[in-house]
Every structure is written in structure tokens, then in C-alpha cells.
Structure 1
């Protein structure tokens, strides 16, 4: 006699949903400067703040610790981490290295035609955004969304679920996402020019993948991460706290 199939526990599913929502809200508060670096976060305080029970709050705090935004304190609770400039630079370098490997494998293994077409369509969308003479906040938002999508597609082009997972993990490191510092360029006279350079690199990487030029694709992708390194230095040295409060979490080193 077959055992009856196990049904999902609605209470568990709801708790998981609440944990995700709490995680997103807490991350938003940290990066918006509402929870400054070094501040202590206690479970009960967050429960009262967000109106969510302790179990999903505890799960959310543990996930943010895994992301690197929080650290467990010896006396209990969690503290908002601060980062040296070198920490962030290393995270960006790691992303460039892993994405470079993904680009090389995509070229050497041969990416599916449908995936390549989707990547080209994504880049066409970025071209449309950059065709505007001036980039307002809405345009920057569209660029960030499309840029993230292209980098996600790059992971898929590699045909490696292992690499896709690693790229997903590394872009969650504090400030390591492909558009982590794009916002500091908003309202800058050089903003559009820098994004055009980044877009040209996107096109070259995709072209190298299509031509099965693995070494070139890898080198281009690693070079592409240098733009984020430059934006990091400008963000820290230029004190862009109004547009990007999270910069306060970075210590100059």
C-alpha cells in the first residue's frame, strides 16, 4: 500500500515567506543607512519593528549573516558589519574571476542559439536606454535591471549549474553585484560615457563567446569588473552618501 503523498505545510510555507520578506526589508534598511554600521540588532527589536514572529526573524538574520551584512555577536544578537575597501575590492575581483570562467566555458562548449539570442535582446535593451541624451533615475533603474539580467544570462550560457550557483552566491556579497556602484554615477557628466564603455565590453564578450574564443571571452569579462573597481574608489573617495548611504559601511584602507 502506497503512503499518501506529503502535502506542504501551509504554516511552514508562510513562515518561509515571512523570513524572505524580513530579510529583504532588513537588507534594505542596512543599505539605506537606517541601521548604521556597528549597530546591534536584537531579535525582539526586529520583531517589534517589522511585526513578524521570532522564528522568521531569526531565519532572516541568519541569512543576512551568511550574506556578510551581519555578524553574530558574542553576547547574542547580531551587529551590522563594516567593510574595508579591500574587502569590497576582493569581492568584485572574485566576481570578475568567476564570470570570466563562465564566459570561457560558454565559448569553449558552445552556447545554445536561443540563449545567445536572449543575451543579444538584453543588450539591445541596454542600447535603447543608452541612446537617450540624458539618463534620469528611471533610465538608471532600467539599466541596472537589464545589466543584472545580462550577467545572469552569462552564467546560464556557461552550461554549468555549479558556476551558475557560484555566481549567484558571489553577487550577493556586499557591494559585489554587477551594478553595485552604478548609482554613484547618476547625475554625473561622465555617467553615460562610462556605461557606454561597459556596454561595449558586453558586446565584445558576447561576440567572443559566439566565435568560440574562450581565452578572449575570459579576459574581457575580467577586465569588465575593473569598471566596478573604479566606481568603488570613486564612491569611497567622493563620499557619495546621499545617493548611496551604504557607502558609509565601507572603511577607506
Structure 2
């Protein structure tokens, strides 16, 4: 039984599983386009649509507000947000700045051998993926390995503060390191872009190992520019926009 087919629950107390179910279901409704930008979200409609009680729905709405997908409205309740190209670029820039800081701190403070091995395992896995044919399965595995590399980099800084902020900014819509990677399967230049990104991964890792903080930071900041290029390519390709999860929320050059 899917989340949309489940019977409504009458209990007032929200269990963790109900809250997660409400969050995942509501996020899917927004990113999938069933709830459109500017549309007011009715708690009762969500309760009936997802088959959960109002308490977990309210918790899910608050979480989606924190993630930036919805916003409070003056008349009460929430509405789905739209995102301008400028907002997305700012979010990408913020992530690049924080990841650059993480790379510099990792180089200056040193990284435990076990974590370095994990980082090397990630880039080795990506190397293997780039040898074969590029298809949706390859891109899916690439997304997983790429996200793992960026997550490990945040931890490599040796700072819970920095790691938390990177994790937070990565939850912003379209700001994560892999936000636009999956739609690259439509781009004939996909392999070239991924090869460049992989070379940057290895260069950053090398700079960290050699304790070159300024170089590691500069390389990581440069690495984030690929996300800017991917955003432009997606915006210029209508087919890619329809394939991009949440693409219906993007408003080009809107302010």
C-alpha cells in the first residue's frame, strides 16, 4: 500500500513513522508538481491525501518550511514557494564557500587515516563509474558516491559547527552537490563535465593530504562552479526541466 492509499488515522499523537511518512509524502507532492508554487496548502486536504492525522502533517509542514520548500502566508497556514534563478545561485555559492572552508580546515588540522581512506574509496568508485557507459543507473550511482564524498569532506574539517552548516545548506532546494547531476544524462557533454568534477575531487583530496589549506579551499570553491554551469544547462533545456525533481518550482530570472 502506498502512502497515498493508506486509510486516514484518527489518533492525535504522532508516532515517528507517521511524521516521516507525512514529511516524505508532502515533499513528494511539492516536488512532483501536484502542489504548485503559490498554492495554499490545506492541512485537511493533506490529511486525506496521505492518510495520516493532523499532528504529523503539522510537523511535516514545519520541517518543509525549514527546508525552504514552503513559506507562511499572512492569512495563516503555508503556501508552496517558487525559487528564482538568483536564489538558487546564492544557495550554491553559500555551499561552495562552506565546503571551501571545510577543505581548508581539513588540510590545516589533518584528517584521520580512516577518513582519508573513505574519501579515496569514493573517488576510486567514481573513477570506475566513469569508465563504463553513462546511463541513468550510472548517474544514480554517481549521485550516491558524489554525495558521500561531499558529506565526508564536511566531517573531515573536524568541526561539528562547519559540518552542521554544510548539511543545513545542502538541504536548501537545488543547492546540494548532486542537485542537477541526474539530468546530465540528457547532455552530450555529460562525461566531460563529470571528468572535470572528478579531477577536482582528486585535486582537493591531494591538497588536503599535503596540508595545503589555501589551495584546498580555492579548489573546492572552484568545484562549486560546476553546479552553476549545470543550473544554466538545465534552465536552457526544457526536457531537462521536466525531468528535474522540483523543476516546476524554478522561475528563471524571477525576483
Q: Which runs of 5 or more structure 2 residues have no equivalent in the other structure? A: 1-10
Matched residue SS, 1:186: helix
**Contact kept? 2:47, 2:53, Cα under 8 Å:** yes
CA deviation profile, 1:174-193 (whole Å, cap 9, x unmatched): 10000011122113211111
Counterparts of residues 1-253 of structure 1 (less than 5 Å): 15-132=15-132, 134-239=133-238, 240-253=240-253
**Contact kept? 2:14, 2:56, Cα under 8 Å:** no
CA deviation profile, 1:95-124 (whole Å, cap 9, x unmatched): 000000000000000111110001000111
Q: Tell me the TM-score normalized by structure 2.
A: 0.91
Shift of 1:245: 4.9
Shift of 1:243: 1.2
- In the alignment of these two chains, the number of paired residues is 242
CA deviation profile, 1:35-85 (whole Å, cap 9, x unmatched): 221222111110000001100100000100011000112222211100110
Q: Which runs of 5 or more structure 1 residues have no equivalent in the other structure? A: 1-10
**Contact kept? 1:136, 1:186, Cα under 8 Å:** yes
Within 2, Cα distance between the matches of 1:87 and 1:174? 10
**Contact kept? 1:84, 1:251, Cα under 8 Å:** yes
Matched residue SS, 1:241: helix
Matched residue SS, 2:243: coil
Within 2, Cα distance between the matches of 1:159 and 1:78? 38
Within 1, Cα distance between the matches of 2:105 and 2:218? 12
**Contact kept? 1:100, 1:217, Cα under 8 Å:** yes
4+ aligned runs moved over 4 Å, structure 1 = 11-14
Within 2, Cα distance between the matches of 1:194 and 1:147? 13
Shift of 1:233: 1.3
**Contact kept? 2:13, 2:55, Cα under 8 Å:** no
Aligned residues: CA RMSD: 1.6
Within 1, Cα distance between the matches of 2:180 and 2:154? 21
Matched residue SS, 1:177: coil
